[in-house]
Chain A
Amino acid sequence: MMLLWVILIPLLGGLLAGLAGRHARWVALAAMLLDGAVAIAAWMQASGEGRWVLSFEREWIPAAGVRLYLAVDGFSFPLVLLTVFLGILSVLVSWKGITERVAFFHFNLLWVLAGTLGVFLALDLLAFFFFWELMVIPMFLLIALWGHEHRSYAAIKFFLFTQASGLLMLVSIVGLYALNGHATGNYTFRYDDLLGNGIAGRAAFWLMLGLFVAFAVKLPAFPFHPWLADAHTEAPTAGSVILAGLLLKTGAYGLVRFVVPLFPQAAADFAPVAMTMGVAGVLYGAMLAFAQTDFKRLVAYTSVSHMGFVLLGVFAWNAQAVQGVLMQMICHGVSTGALFIIAGALQDRMHTRDLEKMGGLWSLTPRLAGFGLLFALASLGLPGLGNFIGEFLVLVGSFQVDRTLTILASLTLAASAVYSLRLVQRAFHGVPRERWQVADLGPREMAVMVVLAAAIVWLGLMPQPVFKMSEDAVERMLDTGRPVEGGGP
């Protein structure tokens, strides 16, 4: 029941915020704090044996065999926490930046978060799809209503990409349901019952591909990334934080949770292609990031690069790689979220995101610039900060599977240093190119930044708790996701 509340609180809080007028901010903040408390309390209480630490199951639409089946394990719980954490920060960073339709803004914000939480928790495939789609509309509205100059274009592009791929996923899910039901006589969408389905050969490949494409678009993997830069750039700050920090993670989560365990053999056969796509994304994203002059666009392309690692790690499918993927997801959420908040802070003050017009901000806004440097360093994978752990583990894991690709992927460590430092140098160093009169971070912004900085440092120095929490779950998923009898690459 607690798990249901984790999703219901933001949904109800969103409705309440939508009606609360100018108090919407406080309502949203309270809802997210409460949600975090409930999630943590639920986890503490749980003493579940077996696959799930905590689960909740009810009939939803008996006639169609759909159940409301929520469950959490050590792999999804950190992501739930990340969602709540970034959710709270998103409310805080919109405190001053959003002035129009405040109530409706927070309604959308909380509903995106609810959808995301649903994605991480739902384990009935159709319920999963329901939440997956639920994220899209409020996100679309966040971009379309509160975005920057080219918001309509970006919002439509975002919607078309995710929706078109989502429909393929729906066909795959229903196909899996029908084929599995036909073979076993048990027509169900339950994840646990669908694991170990006997579907093989071409059918498995096509079903796997349908799911893969949907997740790869969200991730986004090269060549499905074109929506990302526009959406991230045009979204309001909170929207960018949620897009980069959470929505991309749902794609990664889907790959780990569904694609490989449900179709082990097909995924193993497909692994070389997927890993190549991952490496292509890593390098291509870094290259594109280097060429950007728009602060947010640059950060957006670094996401393509970082998410390439995730794809590489998922299809390497061993303990180090998958642990690394989880770590990379969390740290990327924190560090990129922070960079988008900095970009938003600059935009609020200077009304531009153009790096060519910035420069010399260090002397004007030392605190802002200092945090900018910290998170740029995190993004380039400096040891001691969280991202390093994630990327390193992914590389270690995939090295055992494919050396050439891993070596190619590690080239990006140099490239990411170049684009990150270029970002810092252009924005903060040198002489101011224009006479800016900008204020440094205020107390509210400082608080947000300090929390984020503490998180990334803690994850970098003490990653063990995360590994410990997810160890069991990862081990189980690795087992189910291994193809039987010497197949695979």
Chain B
Amino acid sequence: MSASDLQALLPLMILGGTALAVMLAAAFHQGHGTAVGVTLAGLVATFASLFRVAPQRVGELLAVDSYALFFFGLIVAVALVVTGFSHGYLSRFHLKPEEYYMLLVLATLGSCILAASTHFASFFLGLELLSVSLYVMIGYVFRRTTSMEAAVKFLILAAASSAFLLFGMALLYAELGSMSFERLADGLQEGVAVRKTAVISGIVLMLTGIGFKLAVVPFHWWTPDIYQGAPAPVGGFVATASKGAMVALLFRFFGDFSAYHGSTVFTVFSVVAVASMTAGNLLALRQGNLKRILAYSSIAHLGYVLVAFLAGGDRAIEAATFYITVYAIATLAAFGLLAALSTRDGEPELLDDFTGLAWQRPWLALVLAATLLSLIGLPLTGGFWGKFLIIAAGVKSGLWVLVVLLALNSALGLYYYLRILIAACQNTGTPSSLPAVGRCGSMLLGVLSLLTLALGVYPAPLLQLVRSLVTAGGP
């Protein structure tokens, strides 16, 4: 391994070091503040190191190219925000929170490895690093039964899906004789084209593992319970970083999906995409719990991302990356709002808790509105351009049916987001029962909402960044 390889791995090494440092700090200088401080310092250092890395491949396992670097940046930024929200959230409990931050950093490391992996080994390593950390994080507030229940559910299902994934990898390896994505690519396309059973079943089994992490239908069953049960900051991490990393991997593994157009695999993915959009939106319609609405709607959102993925071509990866980014900003704001408004007894997750918010707490209502409007995809929010790019990518590849279904589904999605807004707009005349938001929380919420709005008015810089890093240096 050369010096330049080491330099390319710098972000990952700093993350690993941060995890160690948090652990050691807990041994020598216990305290919530110390843990948060070390974590923040480590994450900021990681983020800064991204600018010093010259994109290159590192051995056969990892590719720290500009594509990976973009996702590193996204994931680390998400981790920073989650750390900020976690501080306020966990300080309400009599828990020892040090380990939590170590796990968060490890989960971040796992996500980054996923985004950079070019080999089954690194793929699986990253996935497990992420999953195992999440098992504990989801159940961290263990006195709350929902949290514990969510953790156990996630553990069992994630382990099962990993098994499927491994089996799929094994089949592909047995058939094609390689574990490196690059060398697999041709064999995969050829195998799919001539309908080789082993290859197709291998891909479909891998889809089980990937689909589980993305929470697309029919691998979505865990989502509502985990979103509801997990502590809100962890929910935010699951919804954004872990899904974002998986999307990055999806593009790296399959490359330009237009090579598969017309094949069985294409049909399978299309069915998954349509089912996710439709089921996610339909199931969200009747929910009265904000976190469950977010869960079901995230299923739909990942369905939209799959449409971009299916489109293939140079626009696909750009659309999906942009979408994931704006979706991450909005979703983090939503979970952050819940985290910031939580008390020791729980989070204000019912629709009723938000009734009259616009009259009692106008600023919080504005944050909520910006977030929801971005998730709907209305102009002046980043979500609009995200949806536009996906539609443009789909239309360009001629996926008219998928695009029209996407449009109709988004219309369906309006209803449940609007229900939240309408509830917030109702004037109950009673003072708010929600607790005050801490300084750190309100600052983060402000930044996230402003980012959403700024991207809505002028998305060109982000789009340019995505294009120069992701499309140009992409897989």
Chain B proximity of A56: nearest CB distance (Å):
17
Q: Is A461 an interface residue (CB 8 A)?
A: no
Q: Does B132 contact A (CB under 8 A)?
A: no
Q: A104 to B363: give the CA distance in the assembly, Å.
A: 12
* Residue from the list A62, A64, A134, A141 in contact with B392, Cβ < 8 A: A64
- Give the CA-CA distance A224 to B196 in the complex, in Å: 50
The answer to whether residues A61 and B378 also contact, given A156-B422, A170-B391 and a CB cut-off of 8 A, is no
Establish whether residues A155 and B422, one from each chain, have CB atoms under 8 Å apart when the complex forms.
Answer: yes
A46–B459 Cα gap in the complex (Å)? 32
Minimum Cβ distance to chain A for residue B460 (Å):
5
Decide yes or no: A133 and B404 within 8 Å by CB, A141-B425, A144-B425, A159-B418 being known contacts: no
Contacts of A64 on B, CB cut-off 8 Å?
385, 388-389, 392, 463
Q: Bound complex: CA of A104 vs CA of B358, how far in Å? A: 11
A-chain residues with CB within 8 Å of residue B403 when the two chains form the complex: 171, 174
Q: Is the Cβ of B391 less than 8 Å from the Cβ of A174? A: yes
**Once the chains bind, are A167 and B411 in contact (CB under 8 Å)?**
yes
Q: Does A480 contact B (CB under 8 A)?
A: no
Counting chain B CB atoms within 10 Å of each CB, the highest count among A60, A63, A126, A167 belongs to A63
A170 near B407: Cβ-Cβ < 8 Å: yes
Q: Smallest CB-CB separation from A141: which chain B residue?
A: B425
Q: Do A62 and B460 have beta carbons less than 8 Å apart? A: yes
A246 within 8 A of B: no
Question: Hey, which chain A residues are within 8 Å of B392, CB to CB?
Answer: 64, 174, 177-178
Interface size on B, residues (CB 8 A): 39
Residues of B within 8 A of A61 (CB): 385, 458-460, 463
| B378 nearest CB neighbor, chain A only | A133
Report if B4 contacts A (CB, 8 A).
no
* Complex interface: chain A residues within 8 A of B410 (CB): 167
Which B residues between 392 and 418 are near A, CB-CB below 8 angstroms? 392, 395-396, 400, 403-404, 407-408, 410-411, 414-415, 418
Shortest beta-carbon distance from B119 to chain A in Å? 32
Is A137 interfacial (CB-CB < 8 Å)? yes
* Bound form: Cα–Cα A62–B464 in Å: 9
Residue contact B411 to A164, C-beta cutoff 8 Å? yes
Give per-residue flags for A139-169: 1 if the beta carbon is below 8 A from chain B beta carbons, else 0: 0110011000000100110011001100110
Chain A contacts for B387, CB-based, 8 A: 170
Bound Cα distance from A152 to B408, whole angstroms: 22
Residue from B376, B425, B459 within 8 A of A145 (CB atoms): B425
Chain A residues closer than 8 Å to B384, beta-carbon distance: 130, 133
Are A174 and B415 neighbours in the complex by a CB distance under 8 Å?
no
Roughly how many angstroms separate A174 CA and B396 CA in the complex, as a whole number? 9
**B395 touching A175, Cβ below 8 Å:** yes
Provide the bound-state CA to CA distance between A155 and B358, in Å: 16
Contact B396 A178 (CB under 8 A): yes
B273 located at the interface, meaning its Cβ lies under 8 Å from any Cβ of chain A in the complex: no
In the assembled complex, the CB of A14 is this many whole angstroms from the nearest CB of chain B, namely 12
Decide if A136 is an interface residue (CB 8 Å cutoff).
yes
In the assembly, what is the distance between CA of A273 and CA of B29, in Å? 78
B467 in contact with A63 (CB, 8 Å): yes
Q: Chain B, 407-435, contact with A by CB distance < 8 Å: what is the 0/1 string?
A: 11011001100110110011100000000
Chain B contacts of A126 at CB under 8 A? Answer: 388
* CB of B380 within 8 Å of the partner chain: yes
Nearest Cβ in chain A — how far from B139, in angstroms?
38
- Which residues does chain B contribute within 8 Å of A104, judged by CB atoms? 362
Chain A residues near B272 (CB-CB < 8 A): none
A163 touches B414 (CB 8 A): yes
Task: Indicate whether B379 reaches chain A with its CB closer than 8 angstroms.
Answer: yes
B460 close to A63 (CB less than 8 A): yes
Q: Closest CB of chain B to A350's CB: distance in Å?
A: 23
Q: A60-B460, A137-B373, A164-B411 are in contact. Are A174 and B388 (CB under 8 A)?
A: yes
CA distance A62 to B463 in the complex (A): 9
The CA of A140 and the CA of B415, in the complex, are separated in Å by 13
Residue in chain B with minimal CB distance to A171: B407
Q: Which residues of A contact B422 (CB under 8 A)?
A: 144, 152, 155-156
Closest residue of chain B to A163 (Cβ to Cβ) is: B414
| List of B residues within 8 angstroms of A133 by Cβ | 378-379, 384
The residues of A that contact B376 with a CB separation of less than 8 Å are: 163
How far is it, in angstroms, between the C-alpha of A411 and the C-alpha of B422 when the chains are bound?
Answer: 42
Chain B nearest Cβ from A462, distance in angstroms: 39
Minimum C-beta distance from A62 to chain B (A): 6
User: Can you identify 30 A-B contacts, CB atoms within 8 angstroms?
Assistant: A61-B458, A61-B460, A63-B464, A101-B359, A130-B379, A134-B380, A137-B378, A144-B421, A144-B425, A155-B422, A159-B418, A160-B414, A160-B418, A163-B414, A167-B407, A167-B408, A167-B410, A167-B411, A168-B404, A170-B388, A170-B391, A170-B407, A171-B395, A171-B404, A174-B388, A174-B392, A177-B392, A178-B392, A178-B395, A178-B396
Instruction: Give me the 7 closest cross-chain CB pairs, A-B, nearest first.
Output: A164-B411, A167-B407, A63-B463, A133-B379, A178-B395, A130-B379, A61-B460
- B-binding residues in A (CB < 8 A): 60-64, 100-101, 104, 126, 129-131, 133-134, 136-137, 140-141, 144-145, 152, 155-156, 159-160, 163-164, 167-168, 170-171, 174-175, 177-178
Known: A174-B388, A178-B395. 18 other contacts (CB 8 A): A63-B460, A64-B389, A129-B379, A133-B379, A134-B379, A136-B378, A141-B425, A144-B425, A152-B422, A155-B422, A156-B415, A159-B414, A160-B415, A171-B395, A171-B403, A171-B404, A174-B403, A175-B395
